[in-house]
Amino acid sequence: MLKTIYLIVTVILRFELSNTQILHFGKCAEVETMRYFDLERFLGIWYEIERFPTWYEENGHCAHKRIQACGRTVVIEHYFIRNGIQYVLQMNSTYSPGDEAVFEIEESNIDPVGIPFSVITTDYDNYAIVYGCKYNEHIHIKYISAWILSRTSTLSPELREQARSELTSIPFANAAYLQTVEQGERYCTYHWTAYVQTQDKDIENV
């Protein structure tokens, strides 16, 4: 009976979330992040060229990320446009020089799972690959996110192919999941901006 309930729950989850978040059974794979990561060089604006479906950016065009730091605090702002509205979602993390290139994300109203933001590789000036995986031990499912980023709104075919190859070397990071993010002018018109700040789930439930 318990196995039947478990199967029903997981199938429902996959059906409801598979279009907006990549899900797989089992634990997250061990992934090597960027060695000798230089946070200062990584800060600034990164445009999304391709991404895995991510629930908080669903159907978002003209998406980019702005990464800022103040001491150990790292602020990651996700910008995208949907239905004539520019959304700005702000998440906070921490980083200390010498740490792995991983920004831990707390569970919140924006990301109820708290998928980490891990820099797999970057040349700092042109492109970056960001990946995240979070395992839910109660239902034995992992949630996966990934982005191919560029310092401009375009990326050369050569670098794009290189980034795809590097990303898909990660277990379960299938290129078939990648979606092109529209960056053309016709998609980037908006009438107003909505700012959404992170609210921890623990606070939300008080």
Q: Convert the pLDDT of each residue in 55-107 to its tens digit.
A: 899 889 999 999 999 888 999 999 999 999 999 999 999 888 888 999 999 99
Rounded to two decimals, the pTM is 0.86
pLDDT tier at 1, thresholds 50, 70, 90: very low
Note the pLDDT of residue 198. Answer: 81
Half-sphere exposure (Cβ direction) of 194: Cα atoms closer than 13 Å:
10
Residue 4 has pLDDT above 70, yes or no: no
CA end-to-end span of the chain, whole Å? 34
Note the pLDDT of residue 17. Answer: 43
Nearest to 21 by CA among 138, 186, 177, 154: 177
Note the pLDDT of residue 202. Answer: 55
CA angle 46, 58, 95 (to 5 degrees): 40
Whole-angstrom Cα distance, residue 68 to residue 75?
5
Contact predicate 144/130, CB 8 Å: no
pLDDT tier at 19, thresholds 50, 70, 90: low
**pLDDT, average across residues 116-122:** 96
Note the pLDDT of residue 71. Answer: 86
Q: Which range, of 26-35, 43-52, 91-100, 187-196, averages the lowest pLDDT?
A: 91-100
> Where is mean pLDDT largest: 12-16, 95-99, 113-117, 123-127?
123-127
Q: Which residue has the tokens 């053309």?
A: 184
Contact predicate 82/60, CB 8 Å: yes
Domains and CATH numbers, the chain: 2-198 (2.40.128.20)
Three-state SS for the chain is: CHHHHHHHHHHHHHHHHCCCCEEEECCCCCCCCCCCCCHHHHCEEEEEEEECCCHHHCCCEEEEEEEEEECCEEEEEEEEEECCEEEEEEEEEECCCCCCCEECCCCECCCCCCCCEEEEEECCCCEEEEEEEEEECCCCEEEEEEEEEECCCCCCHHHHHHHHHHHCCCCCCCHHHCEECCCCHHHCCCCEEEEEECCEHHHHCC
